[in-house]
Amino acid sequence: MGLGSVRSDHLTGLSCSPFQHAQDTGVHLLVDAEYTYLNPALSLVTMALMMRFNQSEPAIWNTYQCYLKDAYTLLCADIEWALSHGLCFGVKLVRGAYMEKERVLAKSLGYPDPIQATWEDTNHSYRRLLDKMLESVGETRPRLGLVIATHNEESVKHALSRMQELGIGQENQFVCFAQLLGMCDHISLTLGSAGYSVYKSIPYGSVEDVMPYLVRRAQENLSVLKGLRTERDLLWRELRRRLTGKRRQAV
């Protein structure tokens, strides 16, 4: 079933009380993406919920994995679908984290590899979807919202540059940046200090559930490791500055 055929009656049997409560309390719900064989069903439910709750603002958000070859086509089709139905539309952009398993599954079942061929191809895809969403936000705000979920400094710098070009200011609460708590906190702090909307994602659950999630996030974006080294260097620099400052005061 294509997303274009989603109707409000597809919500029959789906309990909407948690979603209604979230909307009543001003909480936005971001639905994560999964493996390619699960994504169509997840997107179908997400779009159906959008029809119910995204009338006045993007309350329900969908996630797009930019390491998928068809990500740009899917995003463009979904933007057109949402706007044609008079809905607000929320998008969370990620690079993606199931590369090896997706390739193994594609090979075992004999269908084309759905993943971008190289890391640079994924970076290009992320920038392409990012540009598309920022341009759409600039044209239709506040009907569209964007969460730029990345630990990649170059992606953040590009987003800031494009926001400035498109006249999307820091005060726009429907364009925000997201990083995991404890990863690339220097990026989050810099963005927050400059007045941009930032949220820190906090994985919650058992060690068995959380650790694989964190490993996938590190695999998803190789720049996380570079970011950790940067944070280490910044912390040592600040520690030396404070220790040196204290010695000066003692003298």
pLDDT digits (tens, 9 = 90+) for 96-153: 888 888 999 999 999 999 999 998 999 999 999 999 999 999 988 778 999 999 988 8
| Greater model confidence, 52 or 227 | 52
In the chain, where are the structural domains located? 3-250
- Most confident of the ranges 8-22, 124-138, 142-156, 175-189: 124-138
- What does the alpha-carbon distance between residue 97 and residue 200 come to, in Å, rounded to a whole number? 18
* Domain covering 3-250, topology: TIM Barrel (3.20.20)
Longest Cα–Cα distance of the chain, Å, equals 75
pTM for this predicted structure: 0.81
Structure tokens at 140: 């239709």
pLDDT digits (tens, 9 = 90+) for 192-234: 999 999 999 888 888 888 887 777 766 655 554 554 555 556 5
